[in-house]
């Protein structure tokens, strides 16, 4: 079975997105204030937030909706970075999450599937 991903769009308290990747039985999560990057020259801040239960992948309410969902695959992982492909409703895109030591950067890779 393929691991799921979901991109939640929050409208409160401030507009932001949460990227959630299924791994080890939970949804690892990062708050991404400006959403997923659309240009490989402009990384986006990604702040690690507590893991969520898997059933949260389908969760919505009056302040939160699902902006995209699908499955993800790991391409490469080191201690400070992992590269992955999101296979969502609008197609597939390759990203890297880079640990800066304080927060994370979300990078759209130049090489795309």
CA torsion, ordered 27, 10, 38, 48, to nearest 10 deg: -40
pLDDT for residue 90: 87
**Beta-sheet strands, E only, within the chain:** 4-10, 16-23, 26-32, 44-52, 64-77, 81-88, 91-99, 104-108
Q: What is the mean pLDDT of the chain?
A: 96
Q: How far from each other are the two terminal CA atoms of the chain, in whole angstroms?
A: 21
Instruction: Report pLDDT digits (tens) over 65-107.
Output: 999 999 999 999 999 999 999 999 989 999 999 999 999 999 9
Mean pLDDT of the 30-56 span: 96
- pTM of the shown model: 0.94
> Binning pLDDT at 50, 70 and 90, where does residue 13 land?
confident
């Amino acid at each position: 079975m393929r691991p799921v991903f979901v991109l939640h769009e929050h409208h409160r308290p401030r507009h932001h997105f949460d990227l959630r990747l299924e791994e080890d039985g939970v949804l690892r999560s990062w708050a991404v204030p400006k959403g997923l990057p659309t240009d490989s020259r402009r990384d986006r801040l990604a702040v690690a937030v507590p893991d969520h239960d898997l059933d949260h992948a389908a969760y919505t309410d009056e302040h939160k909706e699902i902006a995209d969902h699908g499955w993800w695959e790991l391409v490469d992982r080191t201690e400070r970075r992992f590269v992955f492909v999101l296979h969502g409703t609008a197609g597939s895109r390759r990203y890297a999450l880079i640990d800066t030591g304080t927060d994370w950067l979300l990078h759209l890779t130049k090489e795309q599937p």
